[in-house]
């Protein structure tokens, strides 16, 4: 898995048995590999709203596949195992465009998404079958193609008596709601808006830092409440689910609006306000679309944002409103590394897809029907 934060590749290796809520994950381990600056810059350029050549996009599709294959090989061999012991690889790919809203193209309304890192190339390099390109099947059924993590949340975190929320704070933040003993038709989930993306971009632009480690910069700044209120009026936040978003919106149009209205704020105040925006937009999404029907007992956190103490404290303050505080904890306490969760998710989705099990959740994506996700590429 490599996500919208564009910081590198997470690899998870696992033994999987069973399906749905009967699925078990055993003997799993993982690793994270940073992109080289050259590759990261090329991916960032491709994922921006600026046009790149078809030649560059075609070549990057294969170059990234080589990187994915190499990281799988490194991870397995570092653990004293061999690639030929693998039965299957699942690869989400790097999102270059995610365009979930219907638009007219050559006389036909369509939506689309594009992830690069060619799965056929990975399969040939590793000699292992690969499932990739997970989003398109859901979109072909009228869905948003995202988020896909709610199936993993449903399988791993559904509880018999608790109402649970699973909040993954990567570049984009997404929230899954799991009622007690839920079936897939009862699961709710959507992208709430920015996760780390705007915070990280401001850290790079203003301070030449990759991110705000532990939220220390945000803690030293002051939130601009006027700007925060203006940003929370963005139409995405008030739009009802199903909905999803990505870099093409948050890192360009939205970020530019942020900066246009920021005036002469210090770097610390900018980052503090961006951090508050992530927390406030998550809470606003929960308050508007979830709380009227579901009251959370437990919120399970994952992603890079789970390490941002300032952000987590802000979320804790929001979710303490209403008299009964929500128990907040990381997915690590449930045996799922908070940084490796999404990579493990796509191992699960690949496993289910290879066995013909639908893994989109129509109540989450808005698809007309369940679908088996992904394309199987064999060596």
What single string gives the DSSP state of each residue in 131-152? EE--SHHHHHTT------HHHH
Q: Are strands 108-116 and 94-105 parallel, antiparallel or unpaired?
A: antiparallel
- With a cut of 70, say whether residue 338 has pLDDT above it: yes
- With a cut of 70, say whether residue 322 has pLDDT above it: no
State pLDDT tens for residues 92-109. Answer: 999 999 999 999 999 999
H/E element, 176 = strand 172-178
Q: In the chain, what percentage of residues exceed pLDDT 70?
A: 99
310 to 154, 226, 379: CA distances (angstroms): 28, 20, 47
**Which residues are paired to 298 by β-bridges?**
164, 327
Average pLDDT of the residues in 176-198? 97
pLDDT at site 309: 98
DSSP letter at 334 equals G
Average pLDDT of the residues in 255-267? 92
Indicate the average pLDDT of the chain.
Answer: 95
Q: Are strands 298-302 and 188-194 parallel, antiparallel or unpaired?
A: unpaired
pLDDT at site 49: 67
Q: Which domains does the chain have, with CATH numbers?
A: 8-145+351-377 (3.30.420.40), 149-334 (3.30.420.40)
Look-up of token digits 């696992």: 14
Higher-confidence residue of 252 and 329: namely 329
- The whole-angstrom separation of Cα 279 and Cα 89 is 34
Q: In the chain, what percentage of residues exceed pLDDT 90?
A: 92
Backbone angles phi, psi at 29, to 5 degrees: -150, 165
Q: Are 244 and 171 in contact (CB under 8 A)?
A: no
Nearest partner of 189 among 278, 114, 286, 96, judged by Cα:
286
Q: What is the pTM of this model?
A: 0.95
pLDDT at site 372: 98
Pair of tokens at residue 214: 């532990």
* DSSP-derived 3-state class of residue 360: coil
- With a cut of 90, say whether residue 51 has pLDDT above it: no
pLDDT at site 7: 86
Q: Are strands 130-132 and 89-91 parallel, antiparallel or unpaired?
A: parallel
Whole-number CA gyration radius for the chain: 20
pLDDT at site 134: 98
Backbone angles phi, psi at 142, to 5 degrees: 90, 10
pLDDT at site 6: 86
pLDDT at site 348: 98
In degrees, rounded to 5, the angle at the alpha carbon of residue 139 between the alpha carbons of residues 88 and 16 is 25
State pLDDT tens for residues 262-317. Answer: 989 999 999 999 999 999 999 999 999 999 999 999 999 999 999 999 999 999 99
Nearest partner of 247 among 95, 110, 145, 114, judged by Cα:
95
State pLDDT tens for residues 339-354. Answer: 999 999 999 999 999 9
């Amino acid at each position: 898995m490599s996500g919208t934060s564009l910081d590198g590749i997470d690899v998870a290796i696992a033994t999987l048995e069973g399906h749905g809520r009967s699925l078990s994950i055993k003997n799993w381990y993982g690793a994270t590999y940073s992109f080289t600056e050259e590759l990261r810059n090329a991916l960032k350029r491709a994922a921006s709203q600026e046009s790149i050549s078809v030649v560059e996009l075609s070549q990057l599709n294969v170059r990234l596949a080589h990187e994915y294959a190499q990281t799988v090989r490194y991870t397995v061999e570092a653990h004293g195992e061999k690639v030929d012991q693998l039965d299957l690889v699942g690869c989400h790919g790097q999102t270059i465009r995610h365009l979930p809203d219907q638009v007219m193209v050559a006389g036909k309304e369509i939506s689309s998404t594009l992830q690069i890192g060619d799965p056929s190339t990975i399969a040939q390099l590793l000699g292992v079958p690969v499932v990739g390109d997970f989003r398109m099947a859901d979109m072909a059924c009228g869905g948003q193609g995202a988020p896909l993590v709610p199936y993993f949340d449903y399988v791993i975190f559904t509880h018999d008596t608790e109402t649970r929320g699973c909040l993954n704070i990567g570049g984009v933040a997404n929230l899954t709601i799991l009622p007690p003993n839920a079936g897939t038709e009862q699961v709710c989930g959507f992208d709430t808006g920015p996760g780390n993306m705007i915070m990280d971009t401001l850290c790079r632009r203003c301070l030449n830092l990759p991110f705000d480690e532990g939220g220390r910069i945000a803690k030293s700044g002051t939130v601009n409440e006027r700007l925060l209120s203006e940003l929370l009026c963005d139409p995405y936040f008030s739009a009802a689910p199903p909905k999803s978003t990505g870099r093409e919106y948050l890192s360009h149009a939205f970020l530019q609006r942020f900066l246009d209205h920021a005036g002469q704020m210090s770097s610390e105040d900018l980052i503090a306000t961006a951090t508050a925006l992530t927390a406030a937009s998550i809470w606003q999404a929960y308050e508007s679309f979830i709380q009227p029907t579901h009251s959370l007992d437990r919120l399970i956190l994952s992603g890079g944002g789970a390490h941002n103490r300032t952000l987590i404290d802000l979320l804790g303050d929001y979710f303490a409103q209403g008299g009964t505080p929500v128990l907040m904890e990381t997915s690590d306490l449930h045996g799922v590394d908070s940084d490796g969760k999404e990579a493990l998710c796509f191992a699960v989705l690949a496993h289910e897809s290879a066995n013909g099990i639908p893994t989109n959740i129509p109540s989450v994506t808005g698809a007309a029907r369940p679908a088996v996700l992904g394309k199987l590429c064999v060596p």
